[in-house]
Amino acid sequence: MAIFGKSSRGAHAAGGRSSKSRGQSAHAPQSNEQRPANDSRMARQMDARLPRIDAESNVDVRRNVAGATGRQRQAAQPNQTGQMNPLSTSSMPAATEAVGSYADLALDENAKQNLGPVVISMRNVTKVYPAQPNRPALANITLDIRSGEFLFLVGHSGSGKSTFIRMLNREIVPTSGELVVAGENLRTIKNWRIPYLRRSVGCVFQDFKLLPNKTAFENVAFALEVIGKSRHVIRTQVPEVLRLVGLEDKMDKLPDQLSGGEQQRVSIARSIVNRPPILICDEPTGNLDPQTSLGIMRLLERINRTGTTILVATHDREMVDQMRRRVLALENGTLVRDQKKGVYGYDV
Ligand SMILES: Nc1ncnc2c1ncn2[C@@H]1O[C@H](COP(=O)(O)OP(=O)(O)OP(=O)(O)O)[C@@H](O)[C@H]1O
Ligand SMILES: [Mg+2]
């Protein structure tokens, strides 16, 4: 059964309530959509570019196979060993069940990483805030990020991590340089295309940004409502994605009835329910205890295995040092390190 596709499972009871909330909040993601969601031609084109994750094979069935990493292809093989599939919702332990350590999430030394095409390209990207004209928040950043990568973004407080993250979904406009994300040039992008860009770039924040008067189900449903998805799609996809993050029993709970880790999982569910090919996370475990943080990183790693490109800004040294992924290090707005299997690398 396709996790994000059509499902024969029954609709969740809360689904009926979600339609009431349409357009209630200005804080929801993508709420600044400036074109009606029934721009169907554009929507179809964009939809064709989004991943479609299949629970049997754990792969994006729409993405070209050449774009999958070695691990993704491995994950896509029929499971002969009886191990659970990374995205199998039926056998998946709760995302907060933190057994083991971050080292379990390290890349297998022998795994061949065949990454896909470049999905984020920066050439001399600079951001100067008007309030701080003499000190660029980011200066001359040049790098490429390929489809399927999992990266950490590290640096002291004030080094530019959030600025970097927020430029990728066009919350912040670069002052100069060229920034291309998911095929869109973010210096020249037309305003009406920004909502479409944001369907390709999911965001997870430290403070969750959940709507306090909506249940877990309704918070996730809202991300689909604002892009005009039908009630049927909402009733099938929202329970699937909440199962994926281990919250099938908490769909009716309000945010203040959930733990911090559970709230963060709702926020991740909301970010991935549209199947964005890129997921950017600004200190997603910043407010969580170490065990819960490990559960969240397990979840992100599973999402990455389906082919989603993931960038995580973090201060968590242990996480970065043990997972040994590509590390981008910022210092006073400058990229001082871009390391393939990197470490945190700071003394404080
Ligand atoms: N809206 C703004 N106006 C002016 N300056 C800003 C603004 N936002 C951030 N800055 C400045 O830009 C620099 C980078 O800030 P940024 O928030 O990107 O850092 P960070 O690495 O995310 O820090 P932290 O680890 O504390 O979250 C800092 O000097 C900060 O003071
Ligand atoms: Mg920050």
Token pair for 232: 């049927």
- Does ligand 1 lie within 6 Å of residue 8's CB atom? no
Q: Among residues 337, 326, 313, 348, which one has the least CA distance to residue 160?
A: 313
pLDDT of residue 287: 86
Q: Which ligand is nearest to the CA of 282?
A: 2
Dist CA 57 CA 208 (whole Å): 30
Ligand 1 centre to CA of 134 (Å) is 14
Ligand 2 centre to CA of 3 (Å) is 32
Q: Is the separation of the CB atoms in 197 and 183 below 8 Å?
A: no
Neighbours of 335 (CB within 10 A): 22
- Does ligand 1 lie within 6 Å of residue 172's CB atom? no
Ligand 2 centre to CA of 112 (Å) is 33
Query: Which residues of the chain carry a pLDDT beneath 70?
Result: 1-99, 109-114, 346-348
For ligand 1, pick from 125, 127, 132, 285 the residue to mutate: most ligand atoms within 8 Å of CB: 132
Sign of torsion, CA 181 187 192 195?
positive
For ligand 1, atom 28: residue with the closest CA: 158
Token pair for 144: 């490429």
Dist CA 313 CA 309 (whole Å): 14
In terms of pTM, does the model score above 0.85?
no
Every domain of the chain and the residues it spans: 15-115+148-172+189-339
> What is the DSSP secondary-structure string of 161-207?
HHHHHHHHTTSS--SEEEEEETTEETTT--GGGHHHHHHHEEEEETT
Ligand 1 centre to CA of 324 (Å) is 26
Token pair for 115: 């990454």
For ligand 1, atom 16: residue with the closest CA: 160
- Does ligand 1 lie within 6 Å of residue 160's CB atom? yes
pLDDT of residue 99: 61
What H or E segment, with its residue span, contains residue 69? none
Dist CA 316 CA 38 (whole Å): 42
Task: Classify domain 15-115+148-172+189-339 by CATH number.
Answer: 3.40.50.300
For ligand 1, pick from 156, 159, 167, 285 the residue to mutate: most ligand atoms within 8 Å of CB: 159
Q: Is 177 left (phi over 0), alpha (psi -120 to 50) or beta?
A: left
Q: Which ligand is nearest to the CA of 163?
A: 1
Q: Is the separation of the CB atoms in 285 and 205 below 8 Å?
A: no
Q: Which ligand is nearest to the CA of 328?
A: 1
- Does ligand 1 lie within 6 Å of residue 171's CB atom? no
Contacts 24+ apart (CB under 8 A), 134-138: 135/332, 135/333, 136/175, 136/333, 137/163, 137/333, 138/163, 138/164, 138/167, 138/174, 138/330, 138/333
For ligand 1, atom 29: residue with the closest CA: 158
Q: Which ligand is nearest to the CA of 158?
A: 1
What confidence tens digit (pLDDT) does each residue in 95-150 have?
445 567 888 888 776 666 668 999 999 999 999 999 999 999 999 999 999 999 99
Dist CA 181 CA 328 (whole Å): 17
Q: Which atom of ligand 1 is nearest to the CA of 283?
A: 27
pLDDT of residue 112: 65
Sign of torsion, CA 27 250 55 230?
negative
- Does ligand 1 lie within 6 Å of residue 81's CB atom? no
Q: Is the separation of the CB atoms in 284 and 204 below 8 Å?
A: yes
- Does ligand 1 lie within 6 Å of residue 275's CB atom? no
Sign of torsion, CA 180 181 182 186?
negative
